[in-house]
Amino acid sequence: MSISPPTVRVEPLESAFAEQASHWAQRLGLPLEGEAQFALQLGHAGLQLQELAPDAPGPVRVDFVEGAAAHRRQFGGGSGQMIAKAVGIQPGVRPRVLDATAGLGRDAFVLATLGCEVRLFERQPLVAALLEDGLARAAADAEVAAIVARMQLRQGNAIELMSGWDGEPPQVIYLDPMFPHRDKSALVKKEMRLFRPFVGDDDDAPALLAAALALASHRVVVKRPRKAPAVQGAAPGYSLDGKSSRYDIYPKKKLA
């Protein structure tokens, strides 16, 4: 039995944003009024997605300038971070990376902060809209404009986009598929609670991995919960384990 996708309306938080809200509604094929379970809201802070249930958590938006992204940019450990080691960052080496499951762009922003050129694919239109808005606002900020200039977003199905790739392939492809949360007692992050009705689980992760392995010139990196099984298909060459996450690395050629 198929489950109907959640209903969403677009709404300006102030009248000054009515025209922009109308633009987003038209572009995403969403109504500007009526009953809905979620609202894509536009205001001074940018674009945000808000669940409309009485006990819903606060809105989710993409912010590369302040908050968690700014803290990690300043105090996150630089090239000593596990994600940096996983994609092969080393002295004099900053690989070209494709983040094929971009989500809210946090991992891609870390890699761009460290000097990598990063292409981002995101297939869910609402998530891609939030990410596009966050990148646009960051591009207007003097401190992070140079970082997000290294990030290029494209909305679409990553498997199709990788299969039809034209030009020099990415050296590294980074995947972070949505993982089925079977532990009912686990506290799922606010973003995951919000996006799971839209995104679901990445049941096509094996096909995503196969497409990535066919395209990447040097390596594929898959982020997984630490105790989760590897994605079905080719076995990783090795893994890097953290406290809650693990990076499975599929090496093809030495980065230099």
Return binding residues for S-adenosyl-L-methionine: 106-107, 122-123, 176
Report CA 254 to chain centroid distance, whole Å: 26
| Three-state DSSP class for residue 31 | coil
d(CA 220, CA 222): 7
d(CA 49, CA 254): 41
Using an 8 Å Cβ cutoff, are 121 and 105 in contact? no
d(CA 216, CA 171): 5
Of all residues in the chain, what percent are helix, strand and coil, respectively (each to 5)?
Answer: 35, 20, 45
Using an 8 Å Cβ cutoff, are 178 and 122 in contact? no
Report CA 93 to chain centroid distance, whole Å: 23
**Alpha-carbon dihedral 125, 232, 216, 87, rounded to 10 degrees:** 90
Annotated binding site: 106-107, 122-123, 176
Using an 8 Å Cβ cutoff, are 135 and 105 in contact? yes
Neighbours of 57 (CB within 10 A): 13
Side chain identity at 224, as an amino acid letter? R
Q: Please report which helix (H) or strand (E) contains residue 25, including its range.
A: helix 18-28
